[in-house]
Structure 1
Amino acid sequence: MQRFIPITLYGLIILAGSMAFVSIAGVRVGLLEPVVGFILIKKTVLAAIFLFFFSIFAYWKCQEACNKEKRCFIAACILFSGLYSGAWLSFYVPKMNLPLINDITTDTKTPPAFITMSSFRHAGDNEISYSKEFAAIQEKAYPQVQPVITDESSSLVFRKVVDLVRQQGWQVVSLYPTAGVIEATATTPVFWFMDDVVVRVRSVDGKTRVDMRSCSRIGTHDFGKNAHRIEDFMSELRLSLETLDES
């Protein structure tokens, strides 16, 4: 049995490595849809978990019968499969309890509306209109998603918002300075999921209020990405406006 263990380990490594390469490279060159790539990478995690436990079994089985080179190889399999599966599980497991929503906004009552983004979406993409069912779910899961309210003029804040959107590397789709609206598309770094963003700047009760909405084009679960994007953007905007106040 000992001679078949290294062959089995090699096979599992090649299988998992090939799937991981195809899942990411296939998305990058346009052969796979992002959701297909994500499904494939989840399968590689399952393969890595199996490889991890099988390697532990193999190391125990070969402690005396295998030579030093084989034991070192098996130990390397334990290390790398454990690191790989552990890295992905550390991402996935904490997000398992997040709600199955894909559209987040700082204003659930009158969320910023997309003006031209519908022309950039495909027939199979998610609805571009905000689902009111998400409001109560979002307020419970992401209470920290809040608008920015400032004493600065709306024109100045709008310019700051536009600059910040461009700094994020998002693709600007449309600008409506008179309406205080900017639409953009953000792309996730690994699987290139496309999320659409709209920021609205308007005067409310003598102050300038900035609201933002971020929604996924595909999928029912965003793993908290949209909420995290809004939080980061609003934090940077607040910091930028505070710098103005101090100067």
Structure 2
Amino acid sequence: MSEPLDLQRLADLSDDDLSAAYTPEREPWLRVNFVSTVDGAATGSDGLSGTINDDADKRVFDTLRRRAHCLVVGAGTIREEEYDVPRVPIVVVSRSADIPPTLAEAPPGRVLMATVATSDGLADAREALGEDHVLVLGEEEIDLVALKAALAERGWTEQLCEGGPSLFADMLAAGVVDELCWTVVPRLTGGDAVRIATGAEVDVALRPALLLEQDGTLLGRWLVEAQGAGWSTT
């Protein structure tokens, strides 16, 4: 059994303390970050996560982004949340290889595409991003084990995924997730909002490693207990 965790006040941690609290246990390390309500909704009524997050979540969100060597995000989530170009390279996961509009004018090398050989948009993505920035990882389905390894080969050993829920479930099924960073905001929304993981059926054991609190918001690190093919000690 896991040892019981002490609940720590987020406000008691300096920025350096908070960053250190999220230090990976090994390399490469793929963490996934989500926010949800107490009743499990990953978005607000408008279908966006921004309507349910708060200052505590934003502080940890910013900390994880500062630590990350790259972001890995599904193309649908980038479009829905209207991502700006982040300070670190962003890897768009898309079988269609369609570059989201908000990233179309990004500086060279800041956007990578992870896609498949059969994608209709492969040639356009190569022309727009450069061949070195388009990762072809499978024929029909994206090989997420190969994706994690390819990013680590570029020196991006601390990898941060921000969803969406279907990509998270696929990553769990592929055995590449090392950690879930999960914020629970003190709200109930009802309805039929999407959960943080949808699609692929998985049964993954987690071990709590950190629990923070601020104004009723709980922020935790959950480490994946049983690793799959995506795990590496290199």
Q: TM-score, normalised by structure 2?
A: 0.23
Larger radius of gyration: 1
In terms of fraction of residues, the more helix-rich structure is: 1
- Structure with the bigger RCO (C-alpha within 8 Å, sep 6+) is 2
